[in-house]
Structure 1
């Protein structure tokens, strides 16, 4: 399976008369783009902004981020969600790099929605401050969930995914500046020298806990709550087979942009044939009941063992209840003789003194920590707010609160904020490009 991603490196984005790309400048016809978005009758208000690294802009409540791409065979960018079902992972796709479509609620936030600062102290907590953001600020007629803490954000997320493809269509017929090629031979048909290397599998646990549809990550448009662990080609993940859901404390979330650019996958590709034999991905899930968690762990271990894996990397989207799936999976792999490294964030409390994972086991001997979700962050006012800052404290956003006996409200009268790291949009970056590091003491 061979995937070619043709890259166009965006140096600046401006609004203009025609959506086009030339010499690093992406021009967007704002009226045309908004007219396209508002074809969805559920979108009641919409506006587009451009937020660049260093701008004194704050965004909240942030719901999703997507890399603008277009598939050259005219198929949908996200099969089963933005269009008909079709296989992905091979062929050619064009991508606008160093930018993203960011979806922000005009008014209403929820538990799963986040926060981005494009400059200042807050910018260091999220990767998205480094990108040029095409910011869609919109509202919908989904009145039934506006005052709910958990929101499906269906119309807003769909608008962002469609807009990303709509904008990228301007490079469909252009020659890319660079082409990334991702290719793996079938597991049993690889060169003898590759077969001698340590065989490694990547286990991904995307958000799939919610038993009601509309909240979980989608795989080919299918609610991941309905799946069992499945072996997949890594190209499928990089090429739009999976999109982010609308449930998970925000710093733990994997956006669709994260799936499209998954750094751990790309690094395993870089090492393939040199230091390891990258077998592929076991796409697992996160469950609610203990028996479901144990069953999924057994599935993962059996697949890895059948593939002949020597080692595994396990990454979970979330923390708390999902920790039980994460730990059970690592234990099952270790019991099967597969040496395993886990990647996760921690919930150690505001003072950092609590147990990092809900469940622990002595077989967890190699864990990469991506930070403490409960770390307190205090930020000064920002000149411009896109969205509604009050949502951070008012609407149950993870990391924010309406009032606290000691700390007061999350959102202060002067526009400054105090909150937990939980609120930073995809801030912990378990996918592999966290700006955080470990200090030696």
Structure 2
């Protein structure tokens, strides 16, 4: 399967009369863009604001991030903005260096997060490096307004429609050759002998799927991952919009749609394919609540990996706590099947860093890359501008914020400074491969 992604680098975003792209500057007709947003009658008010790297801006509560994409007659986000159809092949157009952020105007949620565009906080999230097109909106979804766990359906889907609309700015343009990426992976049984002789590796992604009610979990081709058994996917499908982020997950652990679209581990495995490894593909797995479901998923993953003849696996977990049991169960099943496995996850070791990093462990899990401690306390000074509503961090049950603490008080101080756990840093731990964090030995 061959996928070509034509990238158009975005250096700045401005508003103007026509949505267009010229010499790295993306111009957005705000009125037209908001018409796309308000196609859903549940969107009651909306605005678009721009946040650039280095600006003294704080964005909260952030619910989703999407890279603007366009695919001619094909589906950009199958099962969400488009009909369900195969992706991962043909040509896709991407606006690079920017993202569309879905941001709450008045209400936050357990799975929402914060982004600082400058200062100390900027180092904690990849999205501080991008020009962010912030869709700041509210909805009339009263049934969940005062719920800590929100589906955020109208706002997240509006973000995907907006991302698709914005990318039409370059639908008639031709990308420079140096800005084109090609991802071409031959069928497993049709590869040259010299490739088959290399150590084979499969990438196992445990996407968030713990909520039994539909609407909270990650989606594959628009279908809730809670209703999916582990399955083999072509990596191009993931890079090309088949996977959509959910709304349930402490935010530093979240995999946004942008992360799926640009998964660094998949891209690195492509670089190594045919050179040092034989990249077999991706096993898309899930995260479950009860033990029997965890064991069943692990059995499926190990069976698929064994049937493919995998020598090794990279195992990535979206989350912590209860999902650690899925992570370790899968780790053990792979190792028992003779598949040498390396895990990628964050930890929950408490604010002092002294607690057990994962809620369950096993001797088989002897090679784990840590992407950070979700409980780390972060103190940040005020910002000149807040996009969204800062009060949401303390008021609405964000996973790393609180209304009051016996020692620390409220997460939001009167002067606009904040104290919070890393839990609320938007996609801060970047388990999919571009976390800047490392281990320090004492």
TM-score relative to the length of structure 2: 0.99
Cα deviation, 1:113-167, whole Å, max 9, x if unaligned, reads 0000001111110000000000100000101111100000000000000100000
For 2:145, the equivalent position in structure 1 comes to: 146
Correspondence 1:19-418 to 2 at 5 A: 19-72=19-72, 74-177=73-176, 178-418=179-419
State the distance in 1 between where 2:6 and 2:209 align.
31
Per-residue CA deviations over 1:283-342 (Å, capped at 9, x if unaligned) read: 000000101000100100000000000000000100000000000000000000000000
1-structure distance, mates of 2:25, 2:278 = 39
Between the aligned partners of 1:148 and 1:53, the Cα distance in structure 2 is: 33
Residue-by-residue CA offset, 1:200-220 (whole Å, 9 max, x unaligned): 000000100100000000100
| 1:55-105 C-alpha deviation (Å, 9 max, x unpaired) | 110011000000001013x12311111111100010000000000001100
Moved over 3 A (4+): none
Once the two structures are superposed, residues 215-269 of structure 1 have per-residue CA deviations (whole angstroms, 9 ceiling, x without a partner) of 0001000000000000010000000001000000000000000000000000000
**C-alpha separation in 1, matches of 2:198 and 2:96:** 33
1:188 is paired with a residue whose SS is helix
User: Unaligned 5+ residue runs, structure 1?
Assistant: none
Q: How many Å separate the matches in 2 of 1:144 and 1:286?
A: 26
User: Cα distance, 1:414 vs. partner?
Assistant: 0.9
Cα distance in 2 for partners of 1:179, 1:123 equals 29
Do 2:263 and 2:432's aligned partners in 1 also have CA atoms closer than 8 Å?
Answer: yes
Tell me by how many angstroms 1:439 deviates: 2.9
**CA distance in structure 2 between the partners assigned to 1:295 and 1:390 by the alignment:** 42
In the superposition, the TM-score normalised over structure 1's length comes to 0.99
Q: Which residue of 2 aligns with 1:7?
A: 7
Q: Determine the C-alpha separation between the residues in 2 that align with 1:161 and 1:206.
A: 19
CA distance in 1, matches of 2:74, 2:162: 15
Following superposition, the deviation at residue 438 of structure 1 comes to 2.5
Any idea what the Cα deviations from partners look like across 1:331-364, whole Å, max 9, x if unmatched? 0000000000000000000000000001000111
| 31-40 vs 381-390, greater mean Cα deviation | 31-40
| 1:37 CA drift (Å) | 1.1
Q: What number of residue pairs does the alignment pair up?
A: 440
- State the SS of the aligned residue for 2:394: helix
